[in-house]
């Protein structure tokens, strides 16, 4: 089992996803698992190219790697500048 940090750096291509998942990731601008995890679930839902089949495959992958927590909603970042 790889660590969450290693998982986030893993390229989508070659991670064991379907060709369709990989193609949709390319259309949405995701190259690494971390690119996906950087967005909130709400942001993912509104991404051009998003499908619930794509989300299902992502959830299955994260569950298999004991990393579903990476997809959890996070509180918005506060603006600390100024």
Q: What is the pLDDT of residues 9-66, one digit of tens each?
A: 999 999 999 999 999 999 999 999 999 999 988 899 999 999 999 999 999 999 999 9
The tokens describing 19, both together, are 């060709």
**Other C-beta atoms within 10 Å of 26: how many?**
13
Q: Note the pLDDT of residue 79.
A: 45
b/e sequence 43-68, b meaning 16+ C-beta within 10 Å: ebeeeeeeeeebeebbeebbeebebe
CATH number of 4-71: 1.10.150
The answer to whether 50 and 44 are in contact (CB under 8 A) is yes
């Amino acid at each position: 089992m790889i660590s969450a940090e290693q998982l986030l750096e893993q390229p989508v291509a070659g991670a064991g996803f379907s060709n369709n998942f990989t193609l949709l990731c390319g259309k949405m601008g995701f190259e690494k698992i971390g690119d996906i995890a950087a967005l909130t679930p709400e942001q993912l839902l509104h991404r051009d190219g998003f499908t619930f089949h794509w989300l299902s495959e992502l959830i299955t992958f994260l569950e298999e790697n004991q990393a579903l927590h990476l997809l959890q909603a996070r509180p918005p970042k506060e603006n600390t500048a100024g």
